[in-house]
Amino acid sequence: MPMPLAEPSSPTPITPTPPPVRWQQLLADAVSSPAELCELLKLDPALIAPAIAASAQFPLRVPRSFVARMRQGDPYDPLLLQVLPMAPELQSVAGYVADPVGDMAARTGPGMLHKYQARALVVATGACAVHCRYCFRRHFPYDEESALGGGWQTTIEQLRRDPSITEIILSGGDPLSLSDRRLTQLTEALRDLPQVRRLRIHTRYPIVLPERIDAGLRRWLSGVSLQKVVVIHANHARELDVEVERACRDLADAGVTLLNQSVLLRGVNDSVDALAELSERLFAMHVLPYYLHMLDRVQGAAHFDVEEAGARSLYAGLLARLPGYLVPKLVREIAGEASKTPLV
């Protein structure tokens, strides 16, 4: 008979940390070195020094599967331009500021922004799978302003105090950086708030790290009885490969309505052809174009800005070419307004 194993004399209670799942490994393995990115894409090494300088403000981060969708040897690749730190980011340009959309003025508590009627935006985490150089929250003080600071309790208490809120928008950062366990904690707690009807998630994961849409996430979503909307963020048709398509199909199968928002970016998608092709590809994946945002004038992103006159004529070009439901609304976010402001 085998000897029973000796019990430890003073058992130390430890919470086992679950081993990282595949998407977390892929996230940890993302490219963060400008030299490596240039080498992978066979780019001119002269791009490395300015990239290192600009990444001191906001580090480079891009998952490898997104890099694999870029063209080798092309410094103007529309996917590369979204992630490669560049010298113009370091120039300060009049009118481009740290908080262009008035986030801090809309703050109603830790990690909670309440700008628009009936919708509360929860800054769930500062972490993203990719660092988009034009991001309007690139200077957001995530360390002080994340809803998870004290668990979800503060968020839930604030929502309980304001029954006018019927839709929770998880944003960030990217809310799908949170583990399935964290997400489940939130939606379990939301069950106590019958006025909340909809859960909306703003995320780039289905595009830049589609492996995040895995069995665990699908299980979580399928169990959430709120109406579910996922707003993905693609800027160019070439971002949409078969794995992205698979992720979108799985989200739809879990009962999610899929929308896309893009940012109009100089050199990336500022042509009627690029925008029309993006809409067509999105619809082929059962995703409706929702917003085309004018760039928020955040410090470090001035070189991406498209002038309003140019944006209007692109929009007219889209209207002339596409069915109405494939033309996203062209909007600008103006601090203090009651909604996003349509340009047309």
Ligand X SMILES: *Cc1c(COP(=O)(O)O)cnc(C)c1O
Residues forming contacts to ligand X in the complex (CB under 6 A) are 106, 113, 115-116, 119, 121, 169, 339-340
Using the minimum distance from each CB to ligand SF4, give the nearer residue, 135 or 251.
135
Using the minimum distance from each CB to ligand X, give the nearer residue, 250 or 333.
333
Using the minimum distance from each CB to ligand SF4, give the nearer residue, 259 or 322.
259
- Interface with ligand SF4 by CB under 6 A: which residues? 128, 130-132, 135, 137, 172-174, 204
121 binds, options ligand X, ligand SF4, none, Cβ within 5 to 8 A by partner type: ligand X
26 binds, options ligand X, ligand SF4, none, Cβ within 5 to 8 A by partner type: none
Nearest distance from residue 113's CB to ligand X, in Å?
Answer: 4
Q: Output the CA–CA distances (angstroms, integers) from residue 329 to 166, 213, 271, 278, 311, in the order listed.
A: 23, 27, 16, 14, 11
Nearest distance from residue 296's CB to ligand SF4, in Å?
Answer: 10
**Among residues 238, 284, 236, which one has the least CA distance to residue 258?**
284
Sign of CA dihedral 143, 149, 155, 161: negative
Nearest distance from residue 47's CB to ligand SF4, in Å?
Answer: 20
Nearest distance from residue 84's CB to ligand SF4, in Å?
Answer: 14
Q: What angle do CA 237, 65, 228 make, to 5 degrees?
A: 65
Using the minimum distance from each CB to ligand X, give the nearer residue, 101 or 311.
101
Length reported for the chain: 344
Sign of CA dihedral 261, 265, 269, 271: positive
Using the minimum distance from each CB to ligand SF4, give the nearer residue, 63 or 199.
63
Pairing of strands 198-202, 167-172: parallel
**Among residues 238, 230, 169, which one has the least CA distance to residue 205?**
230
